[in-house]
Amino acid sequence: MCLAVPAQLVQLNGSDGIADLHGNRVPVNTMLVPEAAIGDWILMHAGFAIQRLAFEAVQRTWAVLEDLDAAIVQSSSSECSSHDDQGGASCPNE
Amino acid sequence: MPQRVTTARHALDRLGDAAASAGRPMTFMEVCGTHTMSAARCGLHSVMPATVTLLSGPGCPVCVTAQGDIDLIIEAAFVPGVTLCTYGDMLRVPGRRGSLERARSRGADVRIVYSAMDAVKMAQQLPGRQIVFAAVGFETTAPASAVSVTHARELGLTNFAALVSHKRVIPAMTGLLESGSVHVDGFLCPGHVSVIIGSEPYRPIVDMYGIPCVITGFEESHMALGLACLAEQVRDGAAELVNLYPEAVSSGGNQVAQQLMHQVFEPADMRWRGLGVIPRSGLALNQEHREFDAQLRLGLSAPEDREPRGCRCGDVITGGCVPPDCELFESVCTPILPIGPCMVSSEGSCQAWFKYKRLHVAPIAQMTPTEVTS
């Protein structure tokens, strides 16, 4: 419930906006960060912007999340390879 | 990518060095459900020095909500004419009459909302129903509830109300220290709560209790660095407040959010799972906004706290035990059929333990008293 994620504000009408969340467009309320403007990077929690962020901080967070994705994919591949070594089924991604 | 790996490794090396030269075991506590899950997911516990323990404290909003307050939310869902709006985390928490999910299957109108404002919109769309929003969570979530109440007032809505059991993290931390139930050498402070309240509110914990406090983000390198920073302070006999998440957390926090909370809520004595009633540890609607109090509007009385038999969630969230110490863990209590909230919540210790199999960490019952308390 306390999870917050970085997103970019792409539309704003009063305090009702739309944020780009890594490709997903989601509604966001900017009442808690009234200085937020279109193009700003924000930290989003439960439909509200709670902080403006510097782009470098956002890049760092997304990079870590992408690393995590890569690690999960790598881990899955390793498991498949391991199965192959033991005569198991081939990994469908290979 | 190699640089980020090096950063995490560098932080772990610093942690290892500090732990080795301190010459004694150290116990740290994180107070945030997202930290709980993040540490478990990235395997942080498995790469920490054996003499360093990281406990989960009262930081998961679902887990700390007292059983009586959960029962109250479920009672409200059964009131004829009520549509109960909740964040998804609360849906499967078992109460005396089953969970909200069970209530829905028995005909209650229970809706999951993504934002508190969705509940206000629903009140506009369904004028014939009483829309009750279950307002739970710490200071990260409370400002959103405050906005929903002020917005409902501006719209003149008489069919919107909130069951408020918001909690404040600092009184929980001090309450835990005052209880003496667990020895903590340092706190890893919650990043997103701190975005709202700022770093300064932790200073009394540092100054009055001599406990170091480090605010961190949620990436593995951030958390490892936070632990290294705590361990170095313990080694040096120091107690300082350190903000390692300055890109999001300022010393004063989000002033707009604080002001909104102040306009709508007032500090109130609050009951917590595992900690009992802590004075001024919660937020209640103030006199000016009491007309939006769902408990008053529906005439509901607060049920007594009755924990599920055998459930040790209260001990888990106060550092009194780790999930495998509970006899129900993995035997009858699982994410599919949870008994206690720590197994329900995606930020709960029991679910984190279950999903990521932190089996390398010995249950506290198997540790020596020295390992646990010193």
| A35-68 pLDDT per residue, tens | 999 999 999 999 999 999 988 777 776 666 666 5
Q: What is the distance between the alpha carbons of residues B252 and A36, in angstroms, rounded to a whole number?
A: 18
Give pLDDT, residue B319. Answer: 87
CA angle B328, B329, B333 (to 5 degrees): 70
pLDDT, chain A, mean: 76
* C-alpha span between B100 and B127 (Å, rounded): 23
Q: What is the pLDDT at residue B358?
A: 55
Mean pLDDT over each residue of chain B, to the nearest integer: 90
Provide the percentage of residues in chain A whose pLDDT is more than 70. Answer: 61
* pLDDT for residue A83 is more than 70: no
The count of other CB atoms within 10 Å of the CB of residue B290 is: 12
Among partner residues B4, B193, B220, which is closest to A63 by beta-carbon distance?
B4
Give this prediction's pTM: 0.86
Distance between terminal CA atoms of chain B?
38
Backbone angles phi, psi at B226, to 5 degrees: -60, -45
Query: Which of B32, B217, B220 comes nearest A2 by C-beta?
Result: B32
Of residues B9 and B373, the one with the higher pLDDT is B9
Strands B265-272 and B241-243: unpaired
In sequence order, what E strands does A5-94 have?
5-13, 16-21, 24-29, 41-45, 48-53
Per-residue pLDDT at B279? 92
Instruction: Read off the pLDDT of residues B176-196 as tens digits, 9 standing for 90 and up.
Output: 999 888 899 999 999 999 999
Taking contacts as CB-CB distances below 8 angstroms, the residues of chain A near B59 are: 2
pLDDT attached to residue B40: 87
In this prediction, residue A22 carries a pLDDT of 81
* Structural domains of chain B ordered from first start: 1-309 (3.40.50.11740), 313-359 (no CATH)
Task: Round to whole Å and give the CA distance between B117 and B350.
Answer: 31
* pLDDT band, very low/low/confident/very high, at B72 (cuts 50, 70, 90): very high
pLDDT for the residue numbered B97: 85
List, for residues B280-339, the tens digit of each pLDDT value.
999 999 999 999 999 999 999 988 888 888 999 989 988 888 899 999 999 999 998 899
* CA angle, B359 then B362 then B367, to 5°: 175
b/e burial code for range B311-322 (CB count within 10 A of at least 16 → b): bbbbbbbbbbbb
Q: Which residues of B touch A4 (CB under 8 A)?
A: 140, 192, 195
Which of A1, A32, A56 lies nearest to residue B257, judging by beta carbons?
A32
pLDDT at site B275: 86
Task: Chain A: give the shortest CA distance to residue B296, in Å.
Answer: 26
Query: Is pLDDT larger for residue A88 or for residue B70?
Result: B70
Q: Is the pLDDT of residue B373 over 90?
A: no
Poorest-pLDDT segment among B3-7, B143-147, B214-218, B344-348 = B3-7
pLDDT for A76: 54
Which whole number is the average pLDDT over B93-109? 93
Q: Is the dihedral of CA B257, B259, B260, B261 positive or negative?
A: positive
Q: How confident is the model at residue A70 (pLDDT cuts 50, 70, 90)?
A: low
pLDDT greater than 80 at residue B118: yes
Q: Which two tokens stand for residue A42?
A: 């924000």
Closest residue in A to B31 (Cα) is A2
Is A4 close to B193, i.e. CB distance below 8 A? no
- pLDDT of B364 strictly over 50: no
Tell me the C-alpha distance between B68 and B260, whole Å.
Answer: 27
